[in-house]
Amino acid sequence: MAEFTMELNDDQKQVRDWIHGFAADVIRPAAAEWDEREETPWPVIQEAAKVGIYSLDFYAQQFFDPTGLGIPMAMEELFWGDAGIALSIVGTGLAAIGVVANGTEEQIGTWIPQMYGTPDDVKVAAFCSSEPDAGSDVGSMRTRAVYDQAKDEWVLNGTKTWATNGGIANVHIVVAVVDPELGTKGHASFIVPPNTPGLSQGQKFKKHGIRASHTAEVVLEDVRVPGSCLLGGKEKLDERLARAHERAKAGGGERVKNAAMATFEASRPAVGAMAVGTARAAFEVALDYAKTRTQFGRPIIDNQGVAFQLADMRTSIDAARLLVWRASWMAVAGKPFTSAEGSMSKLFASEVAKKVTAQAVQILGGNGFTREYPVERMHRDSAIYTIFEGTSEIQRLVIARTLSGMPIR
C-alpha cells in the first residue's frame, strides 16, 4: 500500500509537465475554434494519439500509479487546457474502462484497439448507459437485451441519451436490461461492433458548454450482436444472475447495491479532478487580469474586494484538489469510503468550479462576459460538473445516507 503524500515524485512531475505542455501548446490554441464549431476536434485527438496521450496504455499507466494520483493529475492538466476538447480526448476511456473491467482477455485484445484506432486513423468509442427516463435512476432503464439461443445472438432495443461520442463511435458499449426482475442487478453490458445494422445516431445535443465534445442519443432497433459481444460472457452472466436471485430471496439485495455503489464512488474523484483543472484555469486568467488591469490609477488587485475573491478562489481550489487526492489515494489503497469520500470530492470540486469560474467572469467585468476572454467559455463548461457522473443532489444523497447508514438506492 502506497504511503499518502502530497508531494509528486520526479516521474509524476515529468508526466504532469508533459501533459501540461500538450494542453498549453495544442489544446488551448484550438479551444475557442472548436467550441464555436461544436464539432469533434479530430485534428487535436490525432495529435494526442501521435504523442501517446490518446491511448489505453497512457491511461493504464496513470491508473496503476501506486499513489493513486496519476489519473487525477492527468485529468486536471488536460481540463486546464479546455474541458470540451479534453472530454473528446478522454471520452473513449469510459468505454475502454468498461471493457477492461468486465470483459474477457479476448474481448479486451479484440475491441480496445478498435476503439482508439491508430495515430493516422483515429477512432473513438462511446459508453451508452443513460436514457431519457433513466439518468440518476438507473433502475428505470428500459433498453432490453434478449438472447436468441438458436443464433447465439443478443437483440438490443431502446434509446440511450447523453452519450459522449454517441453515433460517431467506432465501437459502442451499451448497458441493457437482461433480467427485469432484478432491477439494477439485472443489467449487462454489450459491445456493438462498427457498422452494426439497427444502431443509429438520434438527436445531437447543442450544449451550453463542453461543446467540442460530441453528445447525442443512440437509437437501437433490433440490433443483433454475437454472443461473444456480451462483456464477460454468457456463463459469467448466468452465474451472476443466479446469485442475485438467491440474494433477493434471502433479503440481501441492499448489501449488493451498496457494494456496487462503492465502485461508483471510486470513479468520481476523476471528475472532481476535471473540475479542479477548469477552476484553476479560470483563476489563473483572473489573477493575471487583476494584476494588469488598472482602475483609478492602480491594479484592481489592490482593491480588497477583488483581492479577497482571489484569495477565496485559490483556497477553495486547493481544498478541492486535496479532497480529490485523498479519495484517489483511498481507492488505490483499498480504504473503504465510509463517509462517501469519493462523492465528497466530486461534489465539492464541481461546486468550486462553478463558483470560481463565475467569480473569474465577475473580476474581468464586461470583458469576462465576452468570448474574447476564455473565462466565459470556462464558466459555461463548468456547469456540467454538477450534472454528469451523478448530480450534486445525488452526491449529497449518497453522502447523507452513507453517514446515516441508510440504504443507497
Q: For the chain, how far is it from start to end, CA to CA, in angstroms? A: 31
Q: Where are the alpha helices (DSSP H) in 334-406?
A: 341-364, 375-382, 392-404
pLDDT for 5 beyond 80: no
Q: What percent of the chain has pLDDT over 90?
A: 80
Nearest CA to 230 among 145, 133, 295? Answer: 145
- Cell 438458436 identifies what position? 150
Report the distance separating Cα 75 and Cα 27, nearest Å.
Answer: 13
Could you confirm whether 389 is annotated as catalytic?
yes
- Structure pTM? 0.92
Nearest CA to 402 among 332, 336, 349, 352? Answer: 336
Quote the pLDDT of residue 65: 92
Quote the pLDDT of residue 252: 57
Q: Can you tell me the mean pLDDT for 186-204? A: 96
Triad 250, 177, 258: Cα angle to 5°: 45
Cα-trace Rg, the chain: 22
Q: Give the side-chain half-sphere CA count within 13 A for 19.
A: 27
Q: Which of 122-136, 229-243, 255-269, 354-368 has the lowest mean pLDDT?
A: 255-269
Give 255-271 pLDDT, tens digit per residue. 444 333 444 556 789 99
Report the distance separating Cα 387 and Cα 371, nearest Å.
Answer: 24
Contacts of 294 (CB under 8 A, 6+ apart): 300
Catalytic residue among 47, 131, 376, 389: 389
Quote the pLDDT of residue 405: 85
